[in-house]
């Protein structure tokens, strides 16, 4: 489910560099696209995980809205839990 927004499609992943952390799309085989460059803060890893999980979080929220309209919950719950786990490093 998409809303027509123009952004780099997910999923995204975190990559460690000599300066910090970068977020790249998984489909970017050559590392040419950098979604975000996270540096200089003690919470870098948590920030990078949250940014990298943005496509899954958006998709899960859009799916949740759609499913709430139609009464279908189980698959959406699993999708939302997976997105939350990615954003929080495994914590639900």
Model confidence band, residue 27 (pLDDT cutoffs 50, 70, 90): confident
The model's pTM is: 0.74
Question: What's the Cα-to-Cα distance from 92 to each of 2, 46, 77, rounded to whole Å?
Answer: 25, 14, 12
Residue 1 in this model has a pLDDT that exceeds 50: no
Report the side by side order of strands in the sheet with 12-16: 12-16, 21-25, 36-38
68 pLDDT exceeds 60?
yes
Identify the three-state secondary structure at position 7.
coil
pLDDT at 26: 87
Strand partners, 13: 24
d(CA 27, CA 5): 19
């Amino acid at each position: 489910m998409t809303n027509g927004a123009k952004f780099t499609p997910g999923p995204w992943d975190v990559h460690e560099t000599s300066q910090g952390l970068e977020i790249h799309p998984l489909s970017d085989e050559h590392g040419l696209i950098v979604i975000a460059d996270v540096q200089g803060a003690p919470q870098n890893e948590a920030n990078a995980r949250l940014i990298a999980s943005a496509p899954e979080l958006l998709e899960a929220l859009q799916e949740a809205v759609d499913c709430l309209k139609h009464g279908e919950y189980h698959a959406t719950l699993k999708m939302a839990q997976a997105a939350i786990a990615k954003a929080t490093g495994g914590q639900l």
